Amino acid sequence: MESKYCHSCGEQIAKTASTCPKCGAPQAGSVSHLISAATPRNKTLTVVFALILGAFGVHKFYLRQYVAGVIYLLFFWTYIPGLIALVEGSRFVFMSDADFDNRYNDGQQVNKSGPLAPILAAVTILMAIIAVLSIIVAIALPAYQDYRKRAEARSNKDKPLSKTPPARS
Ligand SMILES: [Zn+2]
């Protein structure tokens, strides 16, 4: 069986263990390690959370801003948290790693953006454009359909019922 060493107590444990059986420390790569308050926050992951699950405040919970997270979750149906999260996600993309670590990792410089950073920035901008376009369509389409319906109703009213007079018996 493959094994690794617990980063906390040094005990040899199963490679797939999500927590150390001896000291209970969450192990890297597990969900519990990801959300553990002691784990440094990853900037890329924060951006992904904000853009994909931001309406539910997932990036807020991840950044340990639990009150804000609950507010997002309560009001997600208004679409407002989703829009704010989109802006926040874009801000994280353009925020320097050092700035992010100063804000969310107590100044521990743990984030080092790799070659994916420009791709992420491009995807963010694209998602923002799509979001804005879908809002415009969501507002404009029902208005257009309403206009069409009214125009149709009006032309039906103006139209004479029949061009030839009804035949008399
Ligand atoms: Zn341990």
Assess if residue 72 is contained within a domain.
yes
The C-alpha atoms of residue 5 and residue 14 are separated, in whole angstroms, by 8
Per-residue confidence at 84, pLDDT binned at 50, 70, 90? very high
Per-residue confidence at 169, pLDDT binned at 50, 70, 90? low
Per-residue confidence at 167, pLDDT binned at 50, 70, 90? low
What percentage of the chain carries pLDDT values higher than 70?
93
Q: How far is the CA of 12 from the centre of ligand 1 (A)?
A: 8
Q: How far is the CA of 16 from the centre of ligand 1 (A)?
A: 14
DSSP state of 19: B
Structure tokens at 58: 């997932």
Q: What pLDDT score does 165 carry?
A: 62
Assess if residue 161 is contained within a domain.
no
For the chain, give the mean pLDDT.
86
Distances (CA, A) of 137 to 54, 65, 111, 140: 22, 33, 38, 5
Q: Which residue segment(s) compose the domain that 112 sits in?
A: 36-149
Residue 2 has pLDDT above 70, yes or no: yes
Assess if residue 108 is contained within a domain.
yes
Ramachandran assignment for 167, one of left (phi > 0), alpha (psi -120 to 50 degrees), beta (any other): beta
Residue 3, beta-bridge partner list: 14
Q: What is the average pLDDT across 53-77?
A: 95
Assess if residue 14 is contained within a domain.
no
Q: How far is the CA of 143 from the centre of ligand 1 (A)?
A: 61
Higher pLDDT, 116 or 100: 100
| CB-count burial class (<10 Å; 0-12, 13-18, 19+) for 39 | middle
Q: Which of 37-41, 59-63, 90-94, 127-131 has the lowest mean pLDDT?
A: 127-131
Q: What is the average pLDDT across 145-169?
A: 77
The C-alpha atoms of residue 128 and residue 89 are separated, in whole angstroms, by 10
Q: What pLDDT score does 164 carry?
A: 61
Residue 68 has pLDDT above 80, yes or no: yes
Q: How far is the CA of 19 from the centre of ligand 1 (A)?
A: 8
Q: What pLDDT score does 71 carry?
A: 97
Count: domains in the chain: 1
Q: What pLDDT score does 16 carry?
A: 86
Assess if residue 7 is contained within a domain.
no
Q: How far is the CA of 46 from the centre of ligand 1 (A)?
A: 27
Element (H, E) at 72: helix 66-75
